[in-house]
Amino acid sequence: MTTLDSSKEIQKNNSEVNETHEDFRMFGLITFLIADGMTFAGFFAAYLTYKAVNPLPDGAIYELELPIPTLNTILLLVSSATFHKAGKALLKDKNSDSQKWLFITAFLGIIFLICQLFEYFHLPFGLTDNLFASTFYALTGFHGLHVTLGTLMILIIAWQSRINGGRLTSQNMFPLEAVELYWHFVDGIWVVLFIILYLL
């Protein structure tokens, strides 16, 4: 297990190995998110190419309803803000406030998923109906998977930021910061997806 230390200098004791180095877990996470973003970029590129060169069969062009996805966009943007609040609260050692904001964020994530499922059940097309339908479900489904994982991670860190015996403190912010960055990333992807899939 690694422990955290505030000193930046390399320390060396006589016999045992006890060196310190900068924490670059966030650097690794950003690199991973760039890779993850490239997966979405591939999907978006495929979708836009299909839209440009593969005409749909007659009567298969569907206008998507906008109210639910717009609500979902707002939900995710608000959840990014509430997550930020949670981080601020933890930094000031207000663990219970932080936990409250995290639960609100997770709740917003769950509402997002419910809305998404509601939309799926009320769409006039299924996965294999045509190319547009398949791409629609692949894109939103892959994003929904990210939201599901994110919500689970938020619930885990909400549990870990409890006052008695929780691992998250103002000295150990990394888990919260990591999930927060991931969550902002997923929100950003949703905004791009919303523009490309629903508005274009």
Partner 1 sequence: MTISIDPQKANNESLQPKGWLRYFSFSLDHKVIGIQYLVCGFLFYLIGGTLASAIRIELASPMSDFMPRDVYNQVLTLHGTIMIFLWIVPVVNGAFGNYLIPFYVGARDMAFPRLNAVAFWLIPPSGLMLVASYFVEGAAQAGWTAYPPLSITTPQSGQIIWILSVLLLGGSSIFGGINFIATIIKLRRPGLKLMQLPMYCWAMLGTSLLVVLSTPVLAGTLILLSFDIIANTGFFNPVLGGNVVVYQHLFWFYSHPAVYIMVLPAFGLVSEILPVHARKPLFGYTTMVFSIMGIVVLGLVVWAHHMFTSGTPPWMRLFFTIATAFIAVPTGIKFFNWVATLWGGKISINSAMLFSCGFIINFVFGGITGVALAQVPFDIHVHDTYFVVAHFHYIVYGGTVFIIFSSIYHWFPKVTGKMLNEKLGILHFIITFIGFNLCFAPQHWLGLNGMPRRVAEYDPQFQFVNQISSLGALLMAISTIPFLVNVFLSVRNGKNAGDNPWNALTPEWLTSSPPPVENWEGEAPLVEEPYGYGKEISEQK
Q: By CB under 8 A, name the binding residues for partner 1.
A: 1-8, 10-12, 16-25, 27-28, 31-32, 34-43, 45-46, 49-50, 53-54, 56-57, 127-128, 130-131, 134-135, 138, 142, 174
Q: Is 169 helix (H, G, I), strand (E, B) or coil?
A: strand
* Minimum gap (Å) between residue 33 Cβ and partner 1: 10
CB of 116 closer than 8 Å to CB of 72: yes
* Minimum gap (Å) between residue 141 Cβ and partner 1: 10
CB of 95 closer than 8 Å to CB of 166: yes
CA distance 166 to 164: 6
Cβ-based neighbours of 165, under 8 Å, separated by 6 or more = none
Dihedral-angle region of residue 102 (phi above 0 means left; psi in -120 to 50 means alpha; beta otherwise): alpha
* Minimum gap (Å) between residue 87 Cβ and partner 1: 15
* Minimum gap (Å) between residue 42 Cβ and partner 1: 4
* Minimum gap (Å) between residue 80 Cβ and partner 1: 23
Q: Is 136 exposed, middle or buried (0-12, 13-18, 19+ CB in 10 A)?
A: buried
- Other beta carbons within 10 angstroms of residue 147's beta carbon come to 23
